[in-house]
């Protein structure tokens, strides 16, 4: 079923944040910060992979993502939905089903045998491809996937994620310089607002998280081991 009508963007953001909190995908720890893939500390961590285990929530969020993409990019803007290995694959499959489009996925690197491919599935020259992932931090990992898609002769000018950190100023510029527009459902700011509204965490924890969100690089520098 292709979704066509849903709440406005700010309500989608609030509801998405609520769902992420409800399933425990949001983690705050200011005493023992998490270490991100970059090696830098963070008082917040989100695990969108948990969403695949909650059918009602994952279905609602995929409807939200499908209608967000159609509203912002167009109703006939794409020919193919590609997921990024590995977290993006289930969400790409769900999006392809909703938009009635072929689905492919992009490996992080060639598999090293056989066709040595990075693209799995059928992607044709000239296809307009939507890259789907679970989240984006600073946008950097998306660029390799986009380049692999473009090497096939297809185009990729859009990426859609459930969660966008929304705290690193360079993200939108980095993607834009690469000719890619970002579509997302919610950010850390939406999650922080909903966590405060629900009283999910101690006020002092949320105050420290806000300090990180306001200036993540400064917070990371001050909290490096």
CA distance 185 to 174: 19
Global confidence as pTM: 0.93
Helix, strand or coil, per DSSP, at residue 136: strand
Q: 129, 155 in Cβ contact below 8 A?
A: yes
Encoding tokens for residue 196? 């405060």
Helix segments in 48-169, DSSP class H: 55-73, 88-99, 140-150
DSSP state of 116: -
Arithmetic mean of pLDDT, 114-139: 90
Encoding tokens for residue 188? 């850390």
Residue 43 confidence (pLDDT): 94
Helix (H) or strand (E) holding 22: helix 9-22
Walk me through the domains of the chain, giving residue ranges and CATH numbers: 9-219 (3.40.50.2020)
pLDDT in tens, 131-184: 999 999 887 889 999 999 999 999 999 999 999 999 988 899 999 999 999 999
Residue 157 confidence (pLDDT): 98
C-beta atoms surrounding 67 within 10 Å: 20
48 conformational bin, left if phi > 0, alpha if psi -120 to 50, beta if neither: alpha
pLDDT in tens, 62-102: 999 999 999 999 999 999 999 999 999 999 999 999 999 99
């Amino acid at each position: 079923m292709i979704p066509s009508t849903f709440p406005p963007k700010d309500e989608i953001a609030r509801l998405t944040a609520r769902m992420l909190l409800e399933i425990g995908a949001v983690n705050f720890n200011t005493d023992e910060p998490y270490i991100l893939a970059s090696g830098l500390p963070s008082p917040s961590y989100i695990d969108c992979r948990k969403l695949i285990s909650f059918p009602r929530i994952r279905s609602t969020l995929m409807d939200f993502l499908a209608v967000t993409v159609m509203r912002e990019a167009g109703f006939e803007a794409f020919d193919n939905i590609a997921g990024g290995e590995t977290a993006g694959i289930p969400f790409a499959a769900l999006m392809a089903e909703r938009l009635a489009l072929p689905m492919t996925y992009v490996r992080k690197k060639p598999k090293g045998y056989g066709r040595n491919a990075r693209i799995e599935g059928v992607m044709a020259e000239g296809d307009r491809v939507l890259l789907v992932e679970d989240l984006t931090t600073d946008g950097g990992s998306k660029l390799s996937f986009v380049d692999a898609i473009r090497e096939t002769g297809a185009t990729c000018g859009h990426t859609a994620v459930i969660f966008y950190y929304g705290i690193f100023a360079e993200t939108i510029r980095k993607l834009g310089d690469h000719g890619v527009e970002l579509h997302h459902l919610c950010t850390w700011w939406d999650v922080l607002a909903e966590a405060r509204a629900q009283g999910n965490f101690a006020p002092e924890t949320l105050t420290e998280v806000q300090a990180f969100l306001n200036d993540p690089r400064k917070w990371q520098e001050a909290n490096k081991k």
